[in-house]
Chain A
Amino acid sequence: MDEMTLNVRTAAVRVDGLSRRYGATRALDEVDLKLERGITGLLGPNGAGKTTLLSILATVSEPDAGRVSVFGLDPREAAERVEIRRRLGYLPQELGYHRHFTVAGFLDYVAILKEITDRRRRAEEVARVLAAIGLDRHARKRIRALSGGMRQRLGIAQALLGRPDLLILDEPTAGLDPEQRLRFRELLSDLPGDPVIVLSTHQADDIAAICPQVVVLLPGRVHFAGTPAELAATAAGRVWAAGERDTRAHLSWRGGDNRWRHIGDDPPAGAELVAPTVEDGYLLLSHAAGVR
């Protein structure tokens, strides 16, 4: 019990020196991370190690080195690992489904895996998440008849079963249209019990819209941890617009208003500086880390 009260003050989820390699590739290299209650976004390109990190946090993979602590529990200990799993909701990347299952049947199956053995409680939980995710009219549909977006929402729904304290969502917004993204944001902010939520994405506007905290992961290492505003601020004074393309910029592209937007360390004198966005900060970091 003492350990529990102590953890109210320390970080809910801690990662120290986490390393993992697949063959010759270093997926994670000495990653340190602290996660608090609320939503944290994990931003990075494909192959940066986001999925590896999330699967280690979800106790699905083992790291090569480093320590993980979830609510004070160590996943290397079998009993504590089971306890972590009791408080966990996990949406893996590209989750596969038993295609002959119905929506309700699949959620019922996952609810049993989450140790909800009483039939009635299970039906109540399934009804609850179906309503939360907006799939209640499709309870009897077979999964193979669902669209990609609905399947993605089903994946989010199964993660919500059992009211987890730690919600790990790997690319949850993939395949969702803008209206569904909005509903997703509302859903996350309405979750009971104020859980620790960590979601990964490679789209900066998701971060800006959903996450009060963001961690930027570029091949294997953490390059930024803070608020989206702070991330945007790292590009302050380094973003400018012009009518023509400026080859001195690290990155340039034509915006919707037909003007060129540039990101670089040396804006030309008299350049029209613009307010940096989260994406600008992210792109600058990526460039600095040598990622294209």
Chain B
Amino acid sequence: MTSPFPDAAGPVARADGHAGEDLLAGYATGTVDPVVVWSVEAHLTGCARCRSALSAHVDAQRLARNRSVLLVHAALGDGGRVRRLLRRCGVPDHLLRLLAATPSLRRSWLLSVLAVLAVVTGAAAAVRYGWIPAGGPAGLAGYPDPEVLAPFLLVAPLLVLAGVAAAFLPMFDPAHRLAVAAPFSGFTLLLVRTVSALAAALVPVAGAAFVLPGPGWLPVALLLPSLALCALALAAATVMEPRAAAVTAGTSWALPALLLAATHVPLLIVQRNAQFACAVVLCASAVVLLARHDRFELGWMR
């Protein structure tokens, strides 16, 4: 490498063509002539030795601090495609990170949900398409075998409820006491988790409903009951112990579903009257929830 400082002598450059200590020190503290700065910088671009010599003139503590912050950022990572997309849509980053602690958003949970749905859907399809002989009389007008849908109708909203329950039950949050002892609003945390668990659970459920050999309005018809069940569970959690609340809500769906299935009219549970009842339950639960939301701030340590 030809010397960049051909006519120089003294502290400006050394005979070997590298920048001397004084020059580097002066560059680091900004006391060097601007024009000299340019040639130093151009030299540094190609010379690793002078680069590392320059490092000695930077505050070591500052370098160490930036290094550790950098490594933390790198360790935390970006969060994957879904999170990046959501962030671009304007969702605050810290809310997205909170979701990482929600069990019902994890791959393992979603896979189990899919597995259950696959079983139930598969069973219905098997009966419908005659792979397994069916029993019972023909049902609703225009639709031959409503009974094949009974297991799905029982299970689908319960799966959504289970996802939401996993998001708010303390038993699913190993660091629950930390969340209680922290200033972050317990109610906000709850809402963030349950809304995302809800969305994550409704997608496979709706998908299965599409695939199912049933009436076309089935996916939509499941929406209101699922929402009502989850709202009921949350509202009940403000009055009773959370596990009891989840069980109560689950039972309030399971019992009618089983009853109607036993009397051979399972689809009634998603028809007009039932939808109306679900809407009422949803509104009432929402009111109770909003009125008593401070109950979530203390935590359920009794």
Contact = CB atoms under 8 A, between A and B. Distances in A.
Interface of A: 55, 58-62, 78, 81-83, 85-86, 88, 90, 92, 95-106, 108-110, 112-115, 117, 119-120, 122-124, 126-127, 130-131, 136, 139-140, 158
A104 B177 contact: no
A130 B69 CA distance: 10
Nearest to A87: B183
A115 B174 CA distance: 20
Nearest to B67: A127
A231 to B, nearest CB: 29
A127 B65 contact: yes
A95 B301 contact: no
A100 B178 contact: no
Contacts of B302: 61-62
A112 B184 contact: yes
Nearest to B64: A131
B178 A85 contact: no
Contact of A102 (B65, B75, B181): B75
B92 A127 contact: no
Which residue, B75, B297, B298, has most C-beta atoms of chain A within 10 A?
B75
Contact of A139 (B71, B93, B177, B301): B71
Contact of B98 (A88, A109, A123): A109
B69 A112 contact: no
Contacts of B299: 60-61
B182 A78 contact: no
B183 A114 contact: yes
**Which of B71, B182, B184, B185: most chain A CB closer than 10 A?**
B182
Contacts of B297: 78, 81-82
Given A60-B301, A62-B298, A98-B174, A104 B101 contact: no
A96 B183 contact: no
Contact of A123 (B73, B94, B180): B73
B100 A109 contact: yes
A95 B177 contact: yes
Contacts of A92: 177-178, 181
A100 B173 CA distance: 12
Nearest to B102: A98
A82 B71 contact: no
Interface in B61-83: 65, 68-69, 71-76
A136 B177 CA distance: 25
Given A55-B301, A117-B92, A123-B69, A97 B174 contact: yes
Contacts of A62: 298, 301-302
Nearest to B177: A92
Contacts of B94: 112, 117, 119, 122
A253 B75 CA distance: 51
17 contacts: A62-B298, A78-B297, A82-B185, A85-B182, A90-B178, A95-B174, A96-B176, A101-B100, A104-B75, A105-B75, A109-B98, A109-B100, A109-B175, A112-B94, A112-B184, A123-B73, A127-B68
